[in-house]
Structure 1
Amino acid sequence: MKKILFALLLLWQLDAAAQNTAGITITGNTGQTISRHIYGQFAEHLGRGIYDGFWVDKNLPVAKQDRIRLDVVNALKKIKIPNLRWPGGCFADEYHWRDGIGPRAQRPKMVNTNWGGITEDNSFGTHEFLALCKLLDTEPYIAGNVGSGTVEEMAKWVEYLNSNSSSTVVQMRKQNGHPEPYKVSFWGVGNESWGCGGEMTPEFYAGQFRRYATYARNYPGSPLKKIASGANASDYNWTEVCMKNIPNNMMWGLSMHYYTLPTGDWGKKGSATKFSEAEYFSTMVNCLKMEELVNKHSAIMDKYDPDKKVALVVDEWGIWTDPEPGTNPGFLYQQNSLRDALIAATTLNIFNNHCDRVKMAELAQTINVLQALILTEKTKMLLTPTYHIFDMYKVHQDAKYLAIKLKSPDYEVNGKSIPAVNASASQDATGKIHISLVNLDANKPVSISTQLKDLAWSSVSGQILTSANITDINTFNQPAKVQLKNFAGAKKDGNNLVVTIPAKAVVTLELK
């Protein structure tokens, strides 16, 4: 009997080990490229994102250019952010660009009715934003006002930015200190037009897009990439109507917004820092829904655009929790844990693996708002766990996409399961192969055997982001609790790659 029990125990252990093994096959160049614009960022006039984030009091004792905070700029330059979306968000459809140009002391004040009801002095406007983009060496992505604006207002903003004529509006730009055109390319025609951008029907919006886009002109050397305001999460009808009623040659991209809610309930989303493994699991279930959304919206787009000329632009994504206790709830300030880093890595893997259709995306948001890369407190600044993911993943920007076939063990909680492992891979211009791996299992490491077909390599190195707890965060008193470290858990076995990735961890490997 003891021998039987021992044999059963051994079989159970072997079975458990087998279940905690993943298999990956990576094949050569697919002919597709992972656009760097997938790694874009979003900065809205919301809470302390612009004011007290990028744009600080002139008396704050930090390095600045004008009032742009340079430690923030330098941190973002390090991760090579490819674009920055501004001024919203919901704010975009109440923003009138003329209020934000000219002498700052003469600019009219406005109430930000969407976010906290605070008064803004418009000291950060078009020129300040584009000066920020120049410092960041990033492309501006401007969201124009369709909800409360006019066709003429948007047309004149484009002319102000991109024309080199002798018109009155161009002369105004020159008088305001910028003789040459800015040559802004990415242009959003409204934002969330189904909601805060005007409560429109898709049929009405499609007509509005055609009208506004007609008068948003292409000026010499400045062709616009016009992005239509797309669906809220799983509103597939919105995508269907827009693709059916807007000619493909009128829009460069169609957007889609999706936020990961820990509880799935907008009324009580859940804490950013105090959550159980069960809530962590439900958060990851909701995060992985991005795969379904991208697949289904892409299938609709394929019907009307089989050549995939129109990009799916996920220009708002990330985790949205309840605001931090004691902060203005309209400011959407939340902490950022290891859980959020796992969400970021998983989502970026999804986008990389759908780079044939997803050509652009923007994390919400860059500083002090929602799933921020950076948090500030007066002169202090910290990098969040999510920031470190973008640092790890920057190797995929504009790299050749490598196709992945993945067989993953399950991560189970309370009788429900999700794949423990997700991954993406690319090859850069120098021939280096980069593989990003995520283990969502909060408790168990996973052994991964990877076959690389027709890809030659001789050495492997890597970086890892993990921590003792899924709730671990970086604070101003302990800013480096969750940080990147060198990873030595990968080795070459013939032409195969063998990796053991710890629980709740993200690894990016470099093969050369």
Structure 2
Amino acid sequence: MKAIKPSLIAAGVLTALSVLAAPAFAQVSLRVDANQPGAVINKDVYGQFAEHLGTGIYEGMWVGPESKIPNVRGWRKDVVGALKDLHVPLVRWPGGCFADEYHWRDGIGPRSKRPVKVNTNWGGVPENNAVGTHEFFDLVEQLGADAYVNGNLGTGTPQEMAEWVEYMTSEGKSSLAELRAKNGHPAPFKVAYFAVGNEAWGCGGNMKPEYYASLYNHYTTFLKAPPNVRPKMIASGGNDNDTAWTEVLSRDAARGLDAISFHYYTLPTGNWDKKGAAIGFPETEWFSTMVRTLRMDEHIRKNVAILDKNDPQKKIGFYVDEWGTWYDVEPGTNPGFLFQRNTLRDAVVAALNFNIFHAHADRVRMTNIAQMVNVLQAMIITEKDKMLLTPTYYAYQMYVPFQDATSLPITLANNTVYGENGQGVPGISASAARGKDGKVYVALVNTNPREATDVTLDVAGQAIGAVRGQVLTAAAMDAHNTFEQPQAIKPAPFSAQAAGGKLTVKVPAKAVMVFSVEG
């Protein structure tokens, strides 16, 4: 196992830590300062991602109006209902790599007359364009979510991209606005975010950042929308350890730049050719998954340091618009569909990343997990007319109170360490915020799959009488729901009472816990 580079504390989260840094006998203590409000945790940090990939949209969500599966204008009632329960704030579409081969005019007008293309990125399967602009906005309207549209830079033109923005946002009587009305939507669509390309360093064109920055300025010159409906403009940024994109774009991509995107996936092995299994994995891969997902904090810190230098007014956001676990595909499935099982490990990974995003809420104002249904770290898995909720779904559900909450500073002292051979990660990750309902909420994650940990809680500025919330854990590291046992793992109620002016919370092994603080 490779050595792990130590990092600094960030809201109670470390990317790595020497085993000797926290004595095993020390009692973990968490102090929340309710008198020092920090940045607001933008609800869009809990955004989702739906790409034309495998059964992520077709079958998983879209079945068509004629389907016997209950639906509303083609969108599955059960899936939409479950997503609404997550308070999904934002959906990114149509990609991903698919976006840079997607031509928006193929997806408007009567569905029976739309061209059939080949999805060259994902499985080489036919793409009938049944889900296009109008269907996507119908989905987000049903969800009560905002729209994040990814434009085609790779195979498109400035004119095509500009006309799509006009088609979606024009309020006048232009031919494109009239075409939109003819296709069933007289009023402009609300586009919250618009990205110019995707992964320009890779599937979006294999570009250098300087070349992309020039293209970004070129294209955005012609992306015009009425001021009251202008979307936030996003430049396609870097991934993993590459900070050059943030450096160049924050310096050179000057035209209305609202944010720079960033992608980082957690692979247990770090090897794209053999990423590791989604289920039946050894504890060594549980540990390596924790190590690698916590590197998100270091990646964000490095990029934010560049933004703080080039943009001290903090006008530019840093959007992690693709993240999550990526394992070897489920045996026997189409390798281009990226289907993988979703276990307790994925819920722990999600919660660790939430806590990191909260710690950087002043810059990280939007993220999108990959992906929403049936693809990679999905919220929901479907099979024909059946549907089940994954542990990651429940992690999102438990963290709903953090949407638009105000972050609160924390001090996590005497933390335990989980690891082996002199290497380790923090045993406990924590985050705290004051919710829109006025309550203080605390999230705790135990990365150790074998040992529970007691955490004493103190909230400066508030007396603690009790805490109430939910805990998600299971006996097995790879506990997951199946269609035979759809509720094998789900959150359980949790509460604890203060005694003698103190409150101690026992965090089970391999657990995610979210609770409110009661007076």
TM over 0.5: yes
Question: 1:451·1:495 contact (CA, 8 Å) conserved in 2?
Answer: no
Q: Which residue of 2 aligns with 1:468?
A: 475
Q: Which residue of 2 aligns with 1:5?
A: none
Inter-partner Cα distance in structure 1 for 2:84 and 2:361:
23
Describe how 1:163-174 pairs up with structure 2 within 5 A. 163-174=170-181
For 1:289, which of 292, 295, 301 is the aligned residue?
Answer: 295
Determine if the alignment matches structure 1 residue 459 to structure 2 residue 492: no
Q: Which residue of 2 aligns with 1:367?
A: 373
CA displacement at 1:406 relative to structure 2: 1.5
Q: Which residue of 2 aligns with 1:183?
A: 190
Deviations 1:298-318 (A, max 9, x none): 101110111212111000000
SS at match of 1:76: helix
Question: 1:452·1:495 contact (CA, 8 Å) conserved in 2?
Answer: no
Inter-partner Cα distance in structure 1 for 2:509 and 2:62:
39
Amino acid at match of 2:353: T
Amino acid at match of 2:345: R
CA displacement at 1:504 relative to structure 2: 0.4
Question: 1:464·1:505 contact (CA, 8 Å) conserved in 2?
Answer: yes
Determine if the alignment matches structure 1 residue 32 to structure 2 residue 39: yes
Inter-partner Cα distance in structure 1 for 2:473 and 2:234:
36
Q: Which residue of 1 aligns with 2:503?
A: 497
Inter-CA distance 31–471: structure 2 relative to 1 (3 Å threshold) = closer
Question: 1:60·1:378 contact (CA, 8 Å) conserved in 2?
Answer: no
Determine if the alignment matches structure 1 residue 268 to structure 2 residue 274: yes
SS at match of 2:99: helix
SS at match of 2:237: strand
Determine if the alignment matches structure 1 residue 150 to structure 2 residue 182: no
SS at match of 2:324: strand
CA displacement at 1:218 relative to structure 2: 2.5
Question: 2:471·2:513 contact (CA, 8 Å) conserved in 1?
Answer: yes
Question: 1:227·1:253 contact (CA, 8 Å) conserved in 2?
Answer: yes
Structure of higher RCO (CA pairs closer than 8 Å, 6+ residues apart): 2
Question: 1:163·1:220 contact (CA, 8 Å) conserved in 2?
Answer: no
Q: Which residue of 2 aligns with 1:127?
A: 134
Determine if the alignment matches structure 1 residue 259 to structure 2 residue 265: yes
Deviations 1:16-35 (A, max 9, x none): 7624x322121123241011
Q: Which residue of 2 aligns with 1:12?
A: none
Inter-CA distance 208–344: structure 2 relative to 1 (3 Å threshold) = same
For 2:404, which of 398, 402, 412 is the aligned residue?
Answer: 398
Inter-partner Cα distance in structure 2 for 1:61 and 1:468:
38
Q: Which residue of 2 aligns with 1:278?
A: 284
CA displacement at 1:60 relative to structure 2: 4.1
Deviations 1:178-218 (A, max 9, x none): 11111212111110011000111000001111111121113
- Equivalenced residue count is 495
Inter-CA distance 496–143: structure 2 relative to 1 (3 Å threshold) = farther
Describe how 1:12-411 pairs up with structure 2 within 5 A. 18-19=25-26, 21-28=27-34, 29-58=36-65, 60-247=67-254, 250-407=256-413, 408-411=415-418
Question: 2:38·2:409 contact (CA, 8 Å) conserved in 1?
Answer: no
Amino acid at match of 1:285: V
Question: 2:147·2:190 contact (CA, 8 Å) conserved in 1?
Answer: no
TM-score (norm 1): 0.94
Inter-CA distance 160–186: structure 2 relative to 1 (3 Å threshold) = same
Deviations 1:230-279 (A, max 9, x none): 111111111111111122x6111111000000111001001100210011
SS at match of 1:510: strand
Amino acid at match of 2:134: H
Q: More helix by proportion, 1 or 2?
A: 1
Amino acid at match of 1:500: K
Q: Which residue of 2 aligns with 1:6?
A: none
Amino acid at match of 1:381: M
Inter-partner Cα distance in structure 2 for 1:92 and 1:508:
36
Q: Which residue of 2 aligns with 1:7?
A: none
Question: 2:23·2:416 contact (CA, 8 Å) conserved in 1?
Answer: no
TM-score (norm 2): 0.93
SS at match of 1:71: helix
SS at match of 2:181: helix
Question: 2:31·2:411 contact (CA, 8 Å) conserved in 1?
Answer: yes
RMSD over aligned CA atoms reads 1.4
Inter-partner Cα distance in structure 1 for 2:110 and 2:64:
17
Inter-partner Cα distance in structure 1 for 2:47 and 2:500:
38
